[in-house]
Amino acid sequence: MGRDDEPVDPMEIDGQQKLQVEASTAVPEGFNADYLRVYYGKLFPYGDFFKWLCYGNDGKHPGCDQSYVGRREFSFTLENDIYLRFQSFDSASELESSIKEKCPFKIDIGPVYSVDPAKHHAYAQSGNNVFVPVERELIFDIDISDYDDVRYCCSGADVCLDCWPLMTIAIKILDTSLRDDFGFNHILWVYSGRRGVHCWVCDSRARKLSNEQRAAIADYFRVYKGGENALKKVSLAGPVLHPFLARSYMDVLESFFEDKLLLSQQLFASEDRCQKILDLIPDENVASELHDKWQGNRPSSISKEDVNAARWKQLKTTLQSGKHKGLRRCVEEIVFSYTYPRLDMEVSKHMNHLLKAPFCIHPKTGRVCVPIDPNNCEDFDPTAVPTLSQLLGELNAASFQTDSENSK
């Protein structure tokens, strides 16, 4: 993420003194305007960032729309939650100057409007209704906190390597379908910096979708429909699974549930957890039968892995035995309830929704919102993503080394 057009100088913190540190000395952990100002001054990739959002409309190519990027909305959230909507910029240098000057704690990207969003008040007063969004990436937002009813290692915005694979599965499912079922090719996945992932579908065809078309695509992916208090959160209608769902189940969800999630979340390790799964079985007699079989303390010689695997195998055998008509689909519904992507549907349905820009710094964690390679998303570790303090420490170390070499 470093820039080659500026020399690396020793960092100044709180306007007081330059830090001369050894390579092993880290900048104190934290997130503040001083740290952020150095990041925006030295590391933020303005050129590539602006080039992405131009989509070729940069004034350098014949026939390009030179007004295109100037009609894109940027939103800045400043310190103390000061909120600046409808910012617009005609060039990368203009964007860079504004970010360096305002030092936003958060940058959101909105749609491309029919006219310059910075002049939206004047257009609104004209009464002609000409200020409307005309283009926007198809976006998806997935947060790990929406899985709190099926993960037991963390809750809320907390995340660890036991529950993060739920995000990995979401990336695999959506990325494959967006490419294979909808024919999209230009898809950017970004770590949100704290508890989830964002997806930007950037194909020209995707950017021009209407709100109705976006809603239709979002509904295509909608399987998880249960609210917080709903027992049955997934309903797989029809005699056979939709081909997309069948492929997702066979290629990804079933093996992930049985090989990883059962043990990592200890899904059958307690009475309450067992009951939560039994509540997904519509036949109370069958659920009661399984409950009775699982009663009592397990022998100490049986490992946690064996208990979870044994109880799941027993449940599958009971439901798929053929003795209980209409319950075979229930096994799939349980797997989908625990593993299928849980989307923020409203984010995807409306063209004018704002979404945090890549390469922002999350103020709660200090981590960079970095891209994720969907082809290697299993290797992505959110706990290893660089923090603002780490990056500044590296800057200081490089500067110290340069100064040492120059003084010889």
pLDDT tens column, 287-322: 999 999 898 655 555 666 688 999 999 999 999 887
Could you tell me the pLDDT band of residue 326, with boundaries at 50, 70 and 90? confident
Query: Which of the residue ranges 204-213, 306-315, 376-385 would you say has the lowest mean pLDDT?
Result: 306-315
Per-residue pLDDT, averaged over 178-183, amounts to 98
Per-residue pLDDT, averaged over 82-100, amounts to 96
Higher pLDDT, 208 or 236: 208
Please give the mean pLDDT across all residues of the chain.
Answer: 87
Per-residue pLDDT, averaged over 387-392, amounts to 94
Q: Rounded to an integer, what distance in angstroms lies between the CA atom of residue 68 and that of residue 60?
A: 13
Q: Which of 96, 108, 141, 333 is catalytic?
A: 141
Pairing of strands 196-201, 138-143: antiparallel
Per-residue model confidence as pLDDT tens digits over 93-106: 999 999 999 999 99
Clarify whether 73 is annotated catalytic.
yes
Clarify whether 333 is annotated catalytic.
no
Which amino acid is located at 48 in the chain?
D
Could you tell me the pLDDT band of residue 50, with boundaries at 50, 70 and 90? very high
Question: How many C-beta atoms surround the C-beta of residue 87 within 10 A?
Answer: 20
Clarify whether 283 is annotated catalytic.
no
CATH for 12-138+188-220+347-368+379-406? 3.90.920.10
Q: 347 with 358: CB under 8 angstroms? A: no
Q: Is the pTM for the entire model greater than 0.85?
A: yes
**pLDDT of 62:** 76
Domain boundaries, the chain: 12-138+188-220+347-368+379-406, 243-339
Could you tell me the pLDDT band of residue 404, with boundaries at 50, 70 and 90? low
Question: How many C-beta atoms surround the C-beta of residue 136 within 10 A?
Answer: 25
Query: Which of the residue ranges 92-96, 258-262, 316-320, 366-370 would you say has the lowest mean pLDDT?
Result: 316-320
Q: Which of 73, 135, 175, 332 is catalytic?
A: 73
One-character DSSP codes across 1-23: ---SSSPPPPPEETTTEE----T
**pLDDT of 22:** 40
Q: Which of 108, 143, 175, 332 is catalytic?
A: 143
Per-residue pLDDT, averaged over 228-245, amounts to 76
Burial class (CB in 10 A: 0-12, 13-18, 19+), 228: exposed
Residues with Cβ within 8 Å of 236's Cβ and at least 6 positions away in sequence, in order, are: 223, 245, 329, 332, 333, 336
Could you tell me the pLDDT band of residue 275, with boundaries at 50, 70 and 90? very high
Per-residue pLDDT, averaged over 359-365, amounts to 95
In this predicted structure, the answer to whether residue 123 has a pLDDT above a threshold of 90 is no
